[in-house]
Amino acid sequence: MSGTEIIVRYAETDQMGIVHHSVYAIWYEAARTDMMEQAGYSYSRVESEGIMLPLSHLECDYVGGVKYGDRVIVRCFVEKLTIARLVLGYEVRRKGEDEILSTGRTVHAWTDTNLNMINLKKKAPELFNLLDNIK
């Protein structure tokens, strides 16, 4: 499981001073990118190998409010890996606190550059094994 620290910017908040719901998808992407980087297999490497990971589903549950200036940790982890799909989970907490403020999930398909489904285990066994071992 990786953790990405984010300091909430003013532009990410709404009129009530709470982080706008649309921002969480951006935070999830940042955490997903960091997870891959920390695992030693960056997104740019994945794409240079002709592998794409388009998003097919996004969900987010909001439990507590996050405000301007808060420091949060967005954790990303592999929930499920198959030869055709990757399901990632997310948790958002204030830095140094245990309370979960948001949980989420994204579902991705493994495709080639033409967005045709691929078998990741055959196309990139090193990447498949790496992700399988960090579940």
Domain CATH code at residue 66: 3.10.129.10
pTM score: 0.93
- CA 89 → CA 10, 35, 77, 102, 115, distances in Å? 26, 11, 5, 11, 23
Q: What is the pLDDT of residues 67-78, one digit of tens each?
A: 999 999 999 999
- 105-131 mean pLDDT: 97
As for how many domains the chain has, the answer is: 1
pLDDT-based confidence at residue 134 (cuts at 50, 70, 90): confident
Q: What is the pLDDT of residues 78-104, one digit of tens each?
A: 999 999 999 999 999 999 999 999 999
d(CA 24, CA 106): 11
pLDDT-based confidence at residue 1 (cuts at 50, 70, 90): low
Range of the domain at 82: 2-133
